[in-house]
Structure 1
Amino acid sequence: MSNLAYDTEFDTGSVSERETSDMYALRPVPRISIQAFCETDGIAVPLERAGEDRRMARAHMKIHMGGIETAIDFYQTAPTPNLIIVESRSEPRQLLESLNRLAEYCDPTTKVVVIGHYNDVALYRDLMKSGVSEYMVAPISLADIIGVISTIFVDPEAEPIGRSLAFVGAKGGVGSSTIAHNVSWAMTNLFKSDVIVADMDLAFGTANIDFDQDPAQGIAEAVFSPERIDEVYLDRLLAQCSERLSLLAAPSTLDRVYDFDAEAFSHIIDTAQRTAPLVVLDIPHLWTGWSKQTLAQADEVVITAVPDLANLRNTKNLVDTLKKLRPNDAPPKLVINQSGVPKRAEISINDFVEPLGITPMAVIPFDPLLFGNAANNGRMLGEMDPKSPIVHAINEIAHVVTGRSEIKAKPRVGLSSLIGKLKLASKKS
């Protein structure tokens, strides 16, 4: 057994592609209190970043500089939290002695995670025997921290939590809802996966029209009766659109106003995620406490925009804001829709995406006949014309947002088809 010490390097706070990938499947941490006692900045910085991560939004974390001795002094006069994280550079024997003294002040239900600087199997076994929940060897990553906390406090026997995919338009009328609904339908057909679509535009939602549904109840009953929300009640509110696709429909009426606080939809989304592996959130183009919160907490965010100046400004604002709200997540995904409208001045695709630094998943051309026929008949694009290049693009989006494929350098429906449509339009005119 070797006592091999590791030096921790100061973490700059950037998130690597590997780290983002490692965090893809991490589950949210429940409402717990966490206090950490760090001896080095190399451990304090990733812990601070973990405390700011959306998966830790419900947990309350406080970080103190100082190791186990500082924790012992602190808990002589203060109650212990649900979880204590302590860093120690001490040798194994001294570390065990210090932890035994700390145990005298810990409540029986308090969990302890130790971050040490010695990769020693014997030490690990001794710590596990003494009741420590986990021993981590420095250096550690953001994903390591959240993964360990989640492992300790999330029931491994619990049903898997589904992924939430939030679709929002950079501007009203850009087709975000249409993209969201068609991607939802594609996911059920391509992957044989259960999908719940939540139409969060309570006043003007169109999901019931797109899916040709007229449910008597829906998302309004859920949001106005949060105390009743559980899996059974939610199942009663869902409209069945197909074997695997369910809809939490909006009332689309104006008989009352829909002003909500920031957490109004959180419990509904959590419950839906326990019911289906994929939850699509159709978010209206507005900026309120609840819409901001929903975008911040979603597993994936998809922005739909058309290639004009107002959309570029709004998309840039959304991308920059979401980067601050979700510092440890990949940037939002982008779909450029309604490209190539005849006689409409547009920003070129390259000029549109250059200031964003994002490669679009798809550039979908303007096709009023296909989209219009689908909308008027309450059908999805894949039902109207399965061989359409636009349907292939929708399928590609479904693969990307579920992590089954990566964004291609050139979107499936791209500039070549756009240029062709423009040439055709000029000939006709």
Structure 2
Amino acid sequence: MSEKAYIEDEAPSLIDDTTRKPEAVDTFRPLPRISIQAFCASEDLMSVLRRSAEDRRMARVHMRVVSGDIATATETFAASPTPNLVLIETRVSQNRLMEQLAELAEVCDPTTKVVLIGHNNDVRLYRELVRRGISEYLIAPVTLSDVMMCLSSIFVDPDAEPLGRSIAFVGAKGGVGSSTIAHNCAWTISELFETETILADMDLAFGTANIDFDQDPPQGIAEAVYSPERLDDVFLDRLLSKCASHLSMLAAPSMLDRTYDFNSGTFEQLIEVMQRSAPLIVLDVPHVWTDWSRKLLSEADDIVVVAAPDLTNLRNTKNLVDTLIKLRPNDHAPRLILNQVGMPKRPEIDIADFCEPLETEPVAIIPFDAQLFGNALNSGRMISETDPKAPVSEIISQLAHVLTGRVEMRKNRKSGLSLRGLLGRRAGRD
């Protein structure tokens, strides 16, 4: 049985009772393009496998799940080619099991992997199965995590370099400051933890990362997108612009000399190359809903939705959160940041009323401060560079800890307040 270790998702559960908590799934590389056929003797296993097929890390996997056992598999493959992996649930005795496996071996291709899920917890049986070439033997009942770890141990190179974690920021509405928050979080993470970070501005037409960092790089994300045949670690390094000691930027051209209509897989190779190049990737995703943005968000390791406290933002946030939860059933719900809170003369929805239909709480409440944000933008500096002692700087620092899994925010049982609420109130007073 494989002893390969996996890095667990260290991002904490931020809210004790209200955050939707899917079953924990270990973080591993996306599986390659393979075909899997599963034969299940129980409805429970069929349900687990169907859930695993929906996971974003199995987007390239073609999985077929049917009722049956080893005999069914033997009959099926006697008349059709075998897939890359056959997964079978069995309840037969050990002697009968060996007979059926011998019959299955006669109709399977030599390169086909076989995983058995049985109900007999016997180490001698396991050793015999391994001796006969079985890739893995799991004891029922199995969980979603068991299945995905098993598949990863078989098809992912254990010596491969770990992939960088991706965090996608998206605004619930245009103008809510999603890009500004993304840029400040990327800079703060790289500075606080000295973590090599890549910020990718995905808004090729109207991106602002180059303005926020007061840079005008001659190349950037457009060259990567339009030259996929050249895209590798070396080419990416040429396109990156250095923003700080540990932060590099893939800038958008921010020009309208062409239209930027992409298909769903346009950014797939770029994301993979970036994840091989740095331990953290921050994706500044524009407020659009297209094939490519939908795919980008669905495959990110973490999603942050930035919203302002009004009715349009509430509707859009609700739609985004519900849709992304369906697209990412095995990941935690997108995180919420409420920005521009307390804007003078603007009617706002109370924070509690905003969060109630979302069934979550914000990880940060950022007060409206036109002077601070304006000064930072006009000087091409980050908030913490402009005024390190400002309450907003402290909030962004806390965000950096949360998004990298270095702190866990929990409710104060005595006061009933969360750290997010305390930060928001403190910022409001100041």
Q: TM-score scaled to structure 1, two decimals?
A: 0.91
Aligned counterparts of 1:292 and 1:317: Cα–Cα separation in 2: 13
Instruction: Verify: 1:214 aligned to 2:223, yes or no.
Output: no
Aligned counterparts of 1:331 and 1:153: Cα–Cα separation in 2: 28
Letter in 2 for 1:165: I
Aligned counterparts of 2:318 and 2:117: Cα–Cα separation in 1: 39
Query: How far apart are 1:125 and its partner, in Å?
Result: 0.8
CA contact (8 A) 1:393 1:413 kept: no
> Equivalent residue for 2:3?
none
Query: How far apart are 1:416 and its partner, in Å?
Result: 2.3
- Note the 1:173-188 alignment, pairs <5 A: 173-188=175-190
> Equivalent residue for 2:23?
19
CA contact (8 A) 2:241 2:248 kept: yes
Equivalent residues, number: 405
CA contact (8 A) 1:339 1:418 kept: no
Query: How far apart are 1:48 and its partner, in Å?
Result: 0.6
**1:379 maps to which of 357, 365, 381:** 381
State the Cα deviation string for residues 142-195 of structure 1 (Å, max 9, x = none).
111111111111111111011111100000010100111111111112222111
**2:359 maps to which of 354, 357, 363:** 357
The secondary structure found in structure 1 opposite 2:163 is coil
Structure 2 gaps of 5+ residues are: 1-18, 412-417
Query: How far apart are 1:417 and its partner, in Å?
Result: 3.5
Q: 1:412 to 1:135 in 2, by over 3 A?
A: same
Instruction: Verify: 1:417 aligned to 2:426, yes or no.
Output: yes
Letter in 1 for 2:403: V
The secondary structure found in structure 2 opposite 1:168 is strand
Aligned counterparts of 1:182 and 1:92: Cα–Cα separation in 2: 60
> Equivalent residue for 1:306?
308
**1:42 maps to which of 22, 41, 44:** 44
Q: 1:237 to 1:56 in 2, by over 3 A?
A: same
Instruction: Verify: 1:88 aligned to 2:90, yes or no.
Output: yes
Q: 1:85 to 1:161 in 2, by over 3 A?
A: same
> Equivalent residue for 2:347?
345
Letter in 2 for 1:322: L
Q: 1:136 to 1:56 in 2, by over 3 A?
A: same
Q: 1:264 to 1:404 in 2, by over 3 A?
A: same
CA contact (8 A) 2:22 2:331 kept: no
CA contact (8 A) 1:365 1:413 kept: no
CA contact (8 A) 2:340 2:368 kept: yes
The secondary structure found in structure 2 opposite 1:96 is helix
Letter in 1 for 2:369: D
- Tell me how large the CA RMSD over aligned residues is: 1.6
> Equivalent residue for 1:426?
none
Q: Which structure is higher in RCO with an 8 Å CA cutoff and minimum separation 6? A: 2
Structure 1 gaps of 5+ residues are: 1-14, 422-429
Identity of aligned residues (%): 58
After TM superposition, the structure 1 stretch with the greater mean CA deviation from structure 2, 238-247 or 301-310, is: 238-247
Aligned counterparts of 1:209 and 1:94: Cα–Cα separation in 2: 70
Aligned counterparts of 1:341 and 1:174: Cα–Cα separation in 2: 12
- Note the 1:162-241 alignment, pairs <5 A: 162-241=164-243
The secondary structure found in structure 1 opposite 2:366 is strand
CA contact (8 A) 1:361 1:408 kept: no
> Equivalent residue for 2:109?
107
> Equivalent residue for 1:248?
250
Query: How far apart are 1:92 and its partner, in Å?
Result: 2.2
Query: How far apart are 1:223 and its partner, in Å?
Result: 1.0
Query: How far apart are 1:18 and its partner, in Å?
Result: 7.5
